Chain A
Amino acid sequence: MDSVYLCRLDDIPDGTSRGFDPWREGRDTVFVVRQGAVLHAWRNACPHYGTRDREVPLAWRKDAYLDADRSSIVCAAHGARFDIATGICTLGPCLGQGLQRVEVELAPDNNIYIPPQGGRRPI
């Protein structure tokens, strides 16, 4: 399994989020939140409903994963809030649960990759 290229660092403005479909599943299955040079990547599946057969996407619109002041990740299904750095649910229907982290690498040339098996669902 090769690394999967996502985008360049500049394609995610600082403080924003962006969704990706790295494994060509037909929808954004991963999203990345950029905080300066730090990238936090998560599976686009709210733990409230998230199961392998029925993963529930968080965004209400393409790339819209954050609240108004960009301080939390928000699930637009029922308003659950998640800490950007830890993925832990801090308010809402999945208290005590967390998002599934996806490993990403920022290469010296500012390209962002998911390394081999960096976040693919287990078969």
Chain B
Amino acid sequence: MNIIGPDALVFGVDDLAACAQYLTDYGLAPAGNGRFEALDGTAIVLAHKDDAGLPAPMGTASMLRKTIYGVADQAALGAIAEELGRDREVKRLPDGSIEALDDMGFVLGFQVTVRRALDMPAETINAPGAAPQRKPNVVAVDENAPALPRTLSHVVYFVPDVPRAEKFYVERLGFACTDRLVGAGPFLRPAGTLDHHTLFLIQTPPFMKGIEHFTFHMGGPTEVMQAGSRFVNKGYQSFWGPGRHKMGSNWFWYFNSPLGCHVEYDADMDLHDEQWTAREAPAGADASQLFLFEKRDNWAPGGPPPGAAGAAERH
């Protein structure tokens, strides 16, 4: 099953205008018909929660209606249709994609990927003992740099039965477990990418079933900081970060959102292949973050310390 990763997430929301503004300020480009795209064409798709064209809601507070995976080619699409068709309905939609339920009741779509190939440099660093990545007179910091989401990285689900959910994605769709947070669930990587994970499962009670967060990859940690700082300065509420995860090594910054889930910026995720042996660690802050910062208003040594006269802002 040559699944590359999520091409799009479809939401049914109650405040379309707020969600559209949020995704635009986050850095996605409005592409019409409720579609908000990253640089490579992966997207978040919005519709009103009562839109008859949406798959049914899950009956929880989750506003996620569908996860659309991009696959390598028509052969991969046919293989998925044949595999899932053995024990469930597989709809064939007018746009050529297929649709079916996973074992937890999440609606999945599969399509030949719409991702456009990107040709962009990664963030570079200079370090003693290593060849310079930036040549003399090339500066790293540009206050006006765009810092835009490049590609839809991963989605995280709350599921009521992690073993059963994991079994579906591993045995039916060819995902591999790269690491596991014991007490939460597995990080899962589909066959068509080396990214540490495009799906993470978290065990919760049934009434929490739905999406925990999604994130788009940025060009590096500086872009995570720069885009996140701009987002905070526009009034958006930081939830967790910035920091760096242990499993996956990706830098992160999470925000609340009107989409009923967290929305993250991330960058610099580990790549793995079939030679990798999954690690395990108990779920918790120690296993989740190598380090964590908190956003504060600008200050400099010599100026008033953070917190003076209530000037510091802890988000």
Q: Which residues of A contact B (CB under 8 A)?
A: 21, 24-27, 56-62, 64, 67-69, 74-81, 91-93, 95
**Whole-angstrom CA separation of A24 from B258 in the bound complex:** 26
Please, could you name 12 A-B residue pairs with CB atoms under 8 Å apart, sorted by A?
A: A26-B310, A59-B237, A60-B18, A60-B22, A61-B234, A76-B237, A77-B239, A77-B262, A79-B60, A91-B60, A92-B207, A93-B207
Residues in B214-265 with C-beta less than 8 Å from chain A? 234-237, 239, 255-258, 260-262
Contact for A92 among B15, B18, B61, B255, CB less than 8 A: B61
Assess A61 versus B235: contact at CB under 8 Å? Given A78-B212, A91-B61. yes
A26–B236 contact, CB under 8 A? no
**Whole-angstrom CA separation of A69 from B48 in the bound complex:** 13
**Whole-angstrom CA separation of A95 from B236 in the bound complex:** 26
Q: Which of chain B's residues have a CB closer than 8 A to the CB of A24?
A: 310
**Whole-angstrom CA separation of A77 from B254 in the bound complex:** 10
Contact for B312 among A26, A67, A68, A92, CB less than 8 A: A26
Nearest CB of A to B147, in Å: 20
Q: Which of chain A's residues have a CB closer than 8 A to the CB of B307?
A: 26
Given contacts A59-B256, A60-B256, A80-B61, 5 further A-B contacts (CB under 8 A): A26-B312, A68-B14, A68-B15, A78-B212, A81-B61
Q: Does B63 contact A (CB under 8 A)?
A: yes
User: Secondary structure of the A side of the interface?
Assistant: loop
Which chain B residue lies CB-closest to A89?
B61
Contact for A79 among B239, B255, B260, B312, CB less than 8 A: B260
User: Secondary structure of the B side of the interface?
Assistant: loop
**Whole-angstrom CA separation of A27 from B295 in the bound complex:** 11
Residues in B127-176 with C-beta less than 8 Å from chain A? 158
- Of the listed residues B62, B256, B258, the one surrounded by the most CB atoms of chain A closer than 10 A to its CB is B256
Nearest CB of A to B11, in Å: 11
Shortest beta-carbon contacts, A-B, top 5:
A79-B260, A92-B61, A79-B61, A76-B256, A68-B15
Nearest CB of B to A69, in Å: 8
Which chain B residue lies CB-closest to A63?
B235
Nearest CB of B to A109, in Å: 25
Q: Which of chain A's residues have a CB closer than 8 A to the CB of B261?
A: 77-79
Nearest CB of B to A1, in Å: 17
B61–A93 contact, CB under 8 A? yes
Q: Which of chain B's residues have a CB closer than 8 A to the CB of A91?
A: 60-61
Q: Which of chain B's residues have a CB closer than 8 A to the CB of A77?
A: 239, 256, 261-262
Q: Does B279 contact A (CB under 8 A)?
A: no
Give the bracket for the number of chain B residues in contact with chain A: 20 to 34
- Of the listed residues A25, A56, A75, A92, the one surrounded by the most CB atoms of chain B closer than 10 A to its CB is A92
B61–A64 contact, CB under 8 A? no
Which chain B residue lies CB-closest to A46?
B256
Q: Which of chain A's residues have a CB closer than 8 A to the CB of B239?
A: 56-57, 77
A67–B62 contact, CB under 8 A? no
Q: Which of chain A's residues have a CB closer than 8 A to the CB of B314?
A: 25-27
B208–A60 contact, CB under 8 A? no
Q: Does B5 contact A (CB under 8 A)?
A: no
A67–B61 contact, CB under 8 A? no
A76–B257 contact, CB under 8 A? yes
Q: Does B210 contact A (CB under 8 A)?
A: yes
Q: Which of chain A's residues have a CB closer than 8 A to the CB of B204?
A: 93
Binary interface encoding of chain B residues 168-211 relative to chain A, with 1 for a CB under 8 A from any of its CBs, else 0: 00000000000000000000000000000000000010011010
Assess A76 versus B313: contact at CB under 8 Å? Given A56-B239, A60-B22. no
**Whole-angstrom CA separation of A38 from B43 in the bound complex:** 42
Q: Which of chain B's residues have a CB closer than 8 A to the CB of A81?
A: 61
Q: Which of chain A's residues have a CB closer than 8 A to the CB of B63?
A: 79
**Whole-angstrom CA separation of A88 from B204 in the bound complex:** 20
Which chain A residue lies CB-closest to B234?
A61
**Whole-angstrom CA separation of A99 from B14 in the bound complex:** 22
